Homo-oligomer: A and B are copies of this chain.
Amino acid sequence: MDTPTPPAAPRPLRRDAELNRQRVLVAAKEVFAERGLEATLDEIAKHAGLGVGTVYRRFPNKEALIDALFEEGFAQILELTERALAEADAWAGLVFLLTRMAEVQAADFGLRDVMLSETYGRDRIAQMRDRIKPMMEQLVARAQEQGLLRADFRATDIMAVQLMISATVEFTHGVRDGGWRRYVPMLLDGLIARRDGVTELAEPELDDDDLHSAMQSWPRYRRGSAPVESRRQQDL
């Protein structure tokens, strides 16, 4: 409106400022990775050894930070999909893809949230999703032609499968990392067209203690345990 910005010269940041911007990005990546997108910008700032103000000076809001951060992650997923598609055996490609995706989910809860949510990234990330979709469809189609993937499977089911995987990742998280490796093969054994035996499970079972801890930390409904607990002794 007033100062007509010269198209491509937004003035570079001061050296320390640029350094801090990087620090924020790194910290954000780490914190989001282990806590998911629900992580606070305060947490990220603290982790970066900076004040929140600094974060907000570089990124107008949380969403912008997320956008800046996960373009790369999505590119990684795109590449995974391409590799899966390049496989001659499409079923092997699918197994590869779902396993690697599970690894991604387990390693980066932030990326998982971005991937599974669609509430994010109206922009570039949405485009990524659109590019990945037809590749998935092709992968499914080829795996079925080759007779290994069950014929009634559809590309849209992949999302549900990912969600199931996500559930096992979250369930075993912090209790037995990599515990999900027990469940991905089980799931895949349900997707194959036919089989004589069973795929060996890459991970031993959870024992009762594991199960107990896992259920304790299962997210749904926390809070409300003993919230107020004050002001009583006044009735008589």
Contacts and interface: CB of A to CB of B under 8 A. Distances in A.
Interface of A: 2, 36-38, 61-63, 113, 116-120, 150-154, 156-157, 159-160, 163-164, 166-168, 171-172, 182-183, 186-191, 193-198, 200-201, 205-208, 210-212, 214-216, 218, 220-222, 224-225, 236
A47 to B, nearest CB: 19
A200 B205 CA distance: 29
A208 to B, nearest CB: 7
Nearest 10 pairs between A and B by C-beta?
A190-B190, A118-B215, A164-B164, A189-B190, A154-B205, A167-B167, A37-B221, A163-B167, A186-B190, A156-B206
Contact of A221 (B113, B167, B171, B194): B113
A152 B210 CA distance: 18
Contacts of A182: 157, 160
Nearest to A227: B61
A2 to B, nearest CB: 7
Nearest to A150: B198
Given A183-B164, A214-B159, A236-B2, A194 B191 contact: no
Contacts of A193: 197-198
